[in-house]
Amino acid sequence: MPLPLEGVTILDFTTLLPGPLATFMLAEAGAEVIKVERPGGEDMRGFPPRLGAGSAAFAVLNGGKSSFVADLKTEEGRASLRPLIEKADVIVEQFRPGVMERLGLGYEAARAINPRIVYCSISGYGQDGPRAQEAGHDINYQARTGLLSLSPGTVEAPNVPAALVADIAGGSFPAVINILLALRQRDLTGEGCRLDIAMSDAMFTFAWLALAEGFATGRFPGAHENLLAGGSPRYALYATADGKFLAVGALEEKFWRAFCHGIDLPDALRDAAADPDAARAAVAGIVRGRAAAEWAALLEPLDCCATVLASLGEAVEDAQFRGRGLLAARAVDASGASLPAAAVPIAPNLRRPLDEPRAVPALAGRDRPASV
């Protein structure tokens, strides 16, 4: 079976995480991705840790692409891109709004060369609005949109989010979704379009329950008040006797009853809504009394949404995830050094074979795309 994006060519001007992960996903689905880099290569090539002579961080996001070096600050460099723009189906860029226009590579300029181009811009706050030129990273977008306020930790121990929600779920994933939709629309109309992906926009999607509560009641939840952000003893982390954690997600009544039975919570405290603080304190005290392995042996047979927190090292050895091949695809650099490529949620029948190496691109001209 052909892959769904075979025959699609993507010109990728992006760096670091959001855009490169998006175009890696498209490459996995069969697209040809040509990575346009400045002389010396993009910044991620220098990120630790190392893989052979290159960067492991760069390798996991860029295996299977090719590289094309162009100095966008020179007329010659920009002119060298014209043949690529003529043949491309998609352009993805991640500069601050207006930069590509100043370089003569904005949407209108690209559309004049190739009317069928799908032109995707990824930025923090979008192409317009009072914050369009404001610098930021993932933590800033979560902070600015209020998402981080739902679970900021405490004054004594502030919580830095482990997941780069804005970069990946606000940048990479919406870019892929909208590019695919735009390509489908082009199939119907014959015309390309401009896509404006703002990483901060999707943060409101992730706050959906807190927003519903705020709009319905007139009061938006504060820190640790939302049901899914520390506001309920049914959905929380509890420390065990050996310094590990038990993750409890017993939201539904049947799971909560099974969990309460499993830990032998006193009947008077099982109505968590009546006195959530008392229920939380009691659960914390009980869970603290046993080691994590004891809780796993006791609670897992009850199927009550209580899970011992695994380390990343433990998770990658879990038979469930190994069996699904999540980390089976390998990025391989020129020296032959390899490591698992980024895990992406693409069905196996819609992506490149997992046993096919994803070559990490060397800088062109040594690796100039053959079709140029």
Supply the residues annotated as catalytic.
Answer: 137, 167
With contact defined as beta carbons under 8 Å apart, do 231 and 224 qualify?
Answer: yes
| Residue among 229, 236, 196 nearest 211 (CA) | 229
Beta strand 54-55 with 66-69 is unpaired
Q: CA 278 → CA 260, 267, 310, distances in Å?
A: 14, 12, 27
CA 193 to chain centre: 24
d(CA 276, CA 298): 24
Tokens of residue 186, six digits:
């082009």
* For the chain, counts of helices (H) and of strands (E): 15, 14
Q: CA 267 → CA 282, 285, 301, 318, distances in Å?
A: 11, 15, 21, 36
- Please report the sign of the dihedral spanned by the C-alpha atoms of residue 248, residue 249, residue 253, residue 255: negative
Tokens of residue 357, six digits:
């190496």
Phi-psi region of 140 (alpha: psi -120 to 50; beta: other; left: phi over 0): alpha
d(CA 194, CA 110): 10
With contact defined as beta carbons under 8 Å apart, do 346 and 29 qualify?
Answer: yes
| Residue among 120, 167, 128 nearest 26 (CA) | 120
Read off the amino acid at residue 208. W
| Residue among 343, 363, 341 nearest 60 (CA) | 341
Q: Which residues are CB-neighbours of 305 under 8 A, at least 6 positions away? A: 248, 249, 250, 251, 255, 259
**Partner residues linked to 68 by β-bridges:** 36
Tokens of residue 154, six digits:
């405490």
